[in-house]
Amino acid sequence: MASLNAADIAIVRAHALRECDIAQLERFFVVSRENVDALRDLQDELRYRQSPQALALLSQIQNVLAAPERLPIRGGAGQRDCEVTVM
């Protein structure tokens, strides 16, 4: 079986996020708060949603992404990623 590369994983995650309701997306945000790639995928999905909850979550994500001191150092020993299964 061939392994997935980063682009393939992003496509799978984006598809999975489309299937989530806002409560699931909020939980994904909580557990993915330090994963820059996951936050960007979540941000991309929320740009298509117009509910007040979705817009509030999008604002939170944009604030986290705009504060680089709160994000992990990419590629460094301190980088922490979490794995989340989105159903």
Q: Is residue 85 part of a domain?
A: no
Q: Is residue 54 part of a domain?
A: yes
Long-range interactions of 11-18: CB distance < 8 A, separation 24+: 13/38, 13/41, 13/86, 14/41, 14/44, 14/45, 16/86, 16/87, 17/41, 17/42, 17/45, 17/86, 18/45
> Measured on CA atoms in the order 74, 43, 17, 34, is the torsion positive or negative?
positive
Q: Render pLDDT for 50-85 as a digit per residue (tens, 0 to 9).
A: 999 999 999 999 999 998 676 664 543 333 444 444
**Cα gap 28→68, rounded to integer Å:** 20
Q: Is residue 50 part of a domain?
A: yes
Q: Is residue 31 part of a domain?
A: yes
* pLDDT band, very low/low/confident/very high, at 4 (cuts 50, 70, 90): low
Instruction: Look at residue 7 and tell me whether its pLDDT is greater than 60.
Output: yes
Into how many domains does the chain fold? 1
Lowest-confidence region among 18-22, 42-46, 68-72, 77-81 = 77-81
- Domain, as residue range, for 34: 6-70
